[in-house]
Structure 1
Amino acid sequence: MSIEEQRLKTQVELVEITEAYDDQRLDNFLITRLKGVPKSRIYRIVRKGEVRVNKSRVDAKYRLCIGDIVRIPPIRMAEVEQPTVVSHHLQHKLDAAILYEDDGLIVLNKPAGFAVHGGSGMNGGIIEALRQLRPDAHFLELIHRLDKDTSGCLLIAKKRSALRQLHELFREDRVQKTYLALLAGRWAKTKQTVNAPLQKNIRQSGERMVMISATGKEAETVFTRIKLYQAATLVEAAPKTGRTHQIRVHAKSLGHPIIGDERYGIEDVNKQFRSKGYHRMFLHAATLTFQHPVTGKSMTISAPLPEQLQQLLNNEAL
């Protein structure tokens, strides 16, 4: 391969992990970061210790945390890259999902069932699909992330300056987020603040579980009851911190986990709802309030409930 057919990254990169890549596997992060590099090469540099996280060797399945420093070594990369194949179904959904857009950012109403970025076992996520829809866009990057099964407001930067400023707002917990969640059972209280530190744990399968632990990171969520149903409670959840699976674990601590949550929910309850044709977790990022990175003005963006969730709430037998 000629020099013209290759480019050489000659310096070590030190990348700090932000909320947009929190909980992503290291191999998936590198596959996205090192476009054009064969996967076999990526796994080899991880095995050899050329890639390090916080100066230590880690496995390719290691899940990244906010604040991790990833060392990426110099590596030769082909300029001709194989494009990520994103389903037409996802591209079609994103066509009508834009809630707000200007020169600096986009706010999407993310559909449930799609990861925000692609990885092992999936062809592509929200950000890859958006880049395919906008091939002329010079810069499109996730500012934060939502779980695969969560719908609602998702921020994407169109400029590096906007990305930096909004990352800073997230780090300082200056972005206000409110979610709608349907909890299992009838929650007797009208409002409660959960202050419970959260600790991440990795199972042998590589699955990340989060649990309340005195040695965990500070986490706070305010739950406000909106409506009581026969066997469920609709609440607004306002996280004051941005920990992985925070609302889901804090809801479980109330004794009323989120309906449809396969990881922290009640299997019998989830099974009952599946029998009624309901197959997703009822967690929706309803609003985002933040300071615009260019104008400095306070903005509040709201995402309407997906039709499936609204239909469930309209069910008199709920």
Structure 2
Amino acid sequence: MDLSRKENLTVTKRRIDAEEAGQRLDNFLLRILKGVPKSRIYRIIRAGEVRINGKRTDVSYHLQADDEVRIPPVRVAEEAPKPGSGAGPTVVFDILFEDDALLAINKPAGLAVHGGSGISRGVIEQLRHQRPQAKFLELVHRLDRETSGILLVAKKRSALVKLHEQIRQGQTDKRYFALALGAWGKPVQAVKAPLHKFLLPDGERRVRVEAGGQPSHTVFRLQKKWADCALVEAELKTGRTHQIRVHLQHLGHPIAGDDKYGDFPRNKQLAREGLKRMFLHACRMRLTHPLTGVPLQLEAPLPPELSHYLSVLDQTAGAPDADA
């Protein structure tokens, strides 16, 4: 007998409230049936075992308030994480802001925002595991795994909808600090270069500047400058995948430590000097609270490893030039 499994052999029915409305059925079930593989979720939906108001439906169905969801008996695996499974230790998050509608954390570098591709537990899975009583927790936006800094999580469906609307309409202001390699020129540089997503032969996602790509706009402002690198603040006017990384590469100033678009020989040298991660940090975000309408400004200080490397630069390359 497999004692690593727990049986749930009863049909349950769940009434959808206003805050749960709007979710896709598959995402809802993944949250409710913790530990059940996505493939199993899809199978029970396609087989008609999951029903909405007594009827079969599709995985992409968006739940409505007062829908009754029939959830069939399932077996939930309770296996200990295997070595290399990507589950990793539980993370204690640095909370920058929290109320009934919104949670803002300072995400550490090296942690994906969601599971997948060998990562069983990203930020959102960790938060749901830590807060089993929470009825709703959804990412408002994403950060690359290698990027640290401000990450927003909605605690109510109504907050998520309002925040997505703000982002679409360009009503949020997001700023990042990046260490750009090379001799930086103008104090302010605006890049409007279209970005195109593509896949490498091994299936890994990449982005490049290409005519016909998505319109993309970043403004870079010089903060400090050394002989062969510069600390810049990046203001996102659009929010494309890998936008800051590719726009800086396009300028000829790749981000220090970037393992996808960077200067790879220089990255090895940087690692020997103590910089063992990509120097990109989401440092500030201005938005309007989605439910109260109150202006919010969130700030996340540079992580110690990045502040330390700036100190190393000051000691080895002399004091930086005057601020822009």
Give TM-score scaled by structure 2 length: 0.76
Q: Determine if the alignment matches structure 1 residue 305 to structure 2 residue 302.
A: yes
Query: C-alpha separation between the residues in 2 aligned to 1:166 and 1:173?
Result: 11
- Name the structure 1 match of 2:91: 91
Task: Quickly say closer, same or farther: Cα 1:126–1:37, change in 2 above 3 A.
Answer: closer
- Name the structure 2 match of 1:5: 10
Deviation at 1:174, TM superposition (A): 1.5
Query: C-alpha separation between the residues in 2 aligned to 1:222 and 1:8?
Result: 51
Query: Any conservation in 2 of the 1:98–1:108 contact (CA below 8 Å)?
Result: yes
- Name the structure 2 match of 1:107: 104
**What are the residue-to-residue correspondences of 1:192-231 with 2, within 5 Å?**
192-231=189-228
Query: C-alpha separation between the residues in 2 aligned to 1:246 and 1:202?
Result: 16
- Name the structure 2 match of 1:281: 278
Task: Quickly say closer, same or farther: Cα 1:3–1:268, change in 2 above 3 A.
Answer: closer
- Name the structure 2 match of 1:138: 135
Secondary structure of 1:129 counterpart: helix
Query: C-alpha separation between the residues in 2 aligned to 1:80 and 1:186?
Result: 59
Query: C-alpha separation between the residues in 2 aligned to 1:252 and 1:33?
Result: 42
Letter in structure 1 aligned against 2:146? D
Task: Quickly say closer, same or farther: Cα 1:193–1:34, change in 2 above 3 A.
Answer: farther
Deviation at 1:38, TM superposition (A): 4.0
Query: C-alpha separation between the residues in 1 aligned to 2:294 and 2:22?
Result: 33
Secondary structure of 1:163 counterpart: helix
Q: State which drifts further: 161-170 or 71-80.
A: 71-80
- Name the structure 2 match of 1:184: 181
2:118 aligned residue (109, 121, 142): 121
- Name the structure 1 match of 2:84: none
- Name the structure 2 match of 1:240: 237
Query: C-alpha separation between the residues in 1 aligned to 2:116 and 2:12?
Result: 24
User: What RMSD over aligned residues (CA atoms) do the two structures have, in Å?
Assistant: 3.3
Query: C-alpha separation between the residues in 2 aligned to 1:33 and 1:190?
Result: 50
- Name the structure 2 match of 1:58: none
Letter in structure 2 aligned against 1:244? T
Query: C-alpha separation between the residues in 1 aligned to 2:33 and 2:134?
Result: 19
Query: Any conservation in 1 of the 2:196–2:207 contact (CA below 8 Å)?
Result: yes
Task: Quickly say closer, same or farther: Cα 1:123–1:36, change in 2 above 3 A.
Answer: closer
Query: C-alpha separation between the residues in 1 aligned to 2:29 and 2:203?
Result: 17
**What are the residue-to-residue correspondences of 1:66-81 with 2, within 5 Å?**
71=60, 78-79=73-74, 81=76
Q: Which runs of 5+ in 1 are unaligned?
A: 17-26, 49-69
Deviation at 1:136, TM superposition (A): 1.9
Query: C-alpha separation between the residues in 2 aligned to 1:14 and 1:98?
Result: 27
Query: Any conservation in 2 of the 1:141–1:163 contact (CA below 8 Å)?
Result: yes
Deviation at 1:231, TM superposition (A): 2.2
Deviation at 1:81, TM superposition (A): 3.8
Query: C-alpha separation between the residues in 1 aligned to 2:30 and 2:8?
Result: 23
Deviations 1:253-292 (A, max 9, x none): 1100100101000111111111123211000000010011
Give TM-score scaled by structure 1 length: 0.77
**What are the residue-to-residue correspondences of 1:16-55 with 2, within 5 Å?**
37-38=36-37, 40-41=39-40
- Counting matched residue pairs gives 279
Q: Which runs of 5+ in 2 are unaligned?
A: 1-6, 15-20, 47-58, 63-68, 82-86, 318-324
Q: Determine if the alignment matches structure 1 residue 250 to structure 2 residue 247.
A: yes
Letter in structure 1 aligned against 2:276? H
Query: Any conservation in 1 of the 2:8–2:73 contact (CA below 8 Å)?
Result: no
